Amino acid sequence: MTSLTNPLVQVENLSKVYEGRRSLANRLTGVEPFSVRAVNDVSFHVDRGEILGLIGESGCGKSTLGRAVLRLHEPTAGRVLFDGTDVTALSAGALKDMRRRMQIVFQDPYASLNPRSTVADIVGLPLRLHGLAASRSEMRDQVVGILEKVGLNAAHLDRYPHQFSGGQRQRIGIARALISHPEFIVCDEPVSALDVSIQAQIIQLLLELKDEMGLTYLFISHDISVIGYLSNRVAVMYLGEIVEMGPASDVLARPRHPYTQSLMSAVPDVDAPGHHQRVRLTGDLPSPLDPPPGCKFHTRCPLATDACKHAAPVPEEVSPGHRVACHRLHENLSVLETASRAEGC
């Protein structure tokens, strides 16, 4: 914890736009090709040794954001500073070296391992690519070392991915991400494809490895309970934008954005059944092909006014480190106080 003032990852105004090809037919008929703003002007930072939880519905752009941060998908605009270096401006060679320091754990443990490679080849690949092992035997030793850390062993070295269960495969994926001793890991929904019983094991494993290896996580999930369990800070994403971000205890206990409030109210309350006040959202997530103007949430927001339809809200700090982008922030406060008062009795 040498530099709390200098975050490990600093994301500045990051955008990712996917554009359709401008075909000849489109040009002749004057039809504009489609463009999807998967990530729109997003800024945040991740401190060393912290877990930033990124939460949002399917299709809100959270996976794209995670990949754009690692430059797996080339960002359209904005910068990503990793330990002070602008990742978005790196040359191919420098980016390759940087990849040793930042890794990703994927969602689908079935698709993320090459079915034609053995565990030894899969987990040893980063060592080979970055020349981190002097000999074959040293490589094998390192692979066995990391496999034991994730709960597998040397007997698994020559097996193929299809011979493992989902949880085991995810352990292999984690071993591959960690063998080059990276500092920053993007966990892209690493447990959502697993059974609930296995989820807990993998989350526990990730937490243990974080302490042991001094890691920093950007943890992407659509599961509030998972995010709430392991995050230091939370960012809530809606249609490519971060609508609320702050310390986990603050955001999840006292959500200030109506979207976060509705997400939180969707979590069943075991302690006080019946007292639960559900903020229901109507309608679907609008298509990112044709996002609504103004505040993107206004089509589903219970508090929306005419003003929300025209101007996009500017993030406002409501308490230290807790920022919310909502026009109705101050009107919403009263609603919340009554809610928390009801919770108190």
Q: Which of residues 157 and 336 has its CB atom nearest to other proteins in the complex?
A: 157
Would residue 294 be called left, alpha or beta, if left means φ above 0 and alpha means ψ between -120 and 50 degrees? left
Residue 111 CB, shortest distance to other proteins, in Å, is 4
Q: Which of residues 113 and 226 has its CB atom nearest to other proteins in the complex?
A: 113
Q: Where are the beta strands (DSSP E) in 87-173?
A: 102-105
Residue 15 CB, shortest distance to other proteins, in Å, is 21
Residue 89: name the closest of 99, 79, 104 by CA: 79
Would residue 197 be called left, alpha or beta, if left means φ above 0 and alpha means ψ between -120 and 50 degrees? alpha
Residue 31 CB, shortest distance to other proteins, in Å, is 21
Residue 204 CB, shortest distance to other proteins, in Å, is 5
Residue 249 CB, shortest distance to other proteins, in Å, is 26
DSSP state of 314: P
Q: Which of residues 81 and 113 has its CB atom nearest to other proteins in the complex?
A: 113
- Residue in this structure with the two tokens 């019983």, named with its chain if needed: 197
Residue 10 CB, shortest distance to other proteins, in Å, is 20
Would residue 181 be called left, alpha or beta, if left means φ above 0 and alpha means ψ between -120 and 50 degrees? left
Residue 183 CB, shortest distance to other proteins, in Å, is 14
- Cα–Cα distances in Å, from 317 out to 99, 163, 314? 34, 50, 10
Residue 197 CB, shortest distance to other proteins, in Å, is 7
Q: Residue 45, SS3?
A: strand
- Quote the tokens at residue 281: 């959202």
Q: Which of residues 197 and 334 has its CB atom nearest to other proteins in the complex?
A: 197
Q: Which of residues 185 and 264 has its CB atom nearest to other proteins in the complex?
A: 185
CA distance 143 to 121: 9
Q: Which of residues 221 and 299 has its CB atom nearest to other proteins in the complex?
A: 221
Contact status, residue 117 vs residue 128, Cβ threshold 8 Å:
no
Task: With both helix axes pointing from N to C terminus, report the angle between 166-178 and 119-129 in degrees, rounded to the nearest 10.
Answer: 20
Q: Which of residues 140 and 265 has its CB atom nearest to other proteins in the complex?
A: 140
Q: Which of residues 97 and 317 has its CB atom nearest to other proteins in the complex?
A: 97
Residues near other proteins (CB under 8 A) = 67, 70, 72, 95-97, 99-100, 103-104, 106-108, 111-117, 125-126, 129-130, 148-149, 151-152, 155-156, 158-160, 162-168, 171, 173, 176, 180, 197-198, 201, 204-205, 208
Would residue 195 be called left, alpha or beta, if left means φ above 0 and alpha means ψ between -120 and 50 degrees? beta
Question: Which residues make Cβ contacts (< 8 Å) with residue 200, sequence separation at least 6?
Answer: none
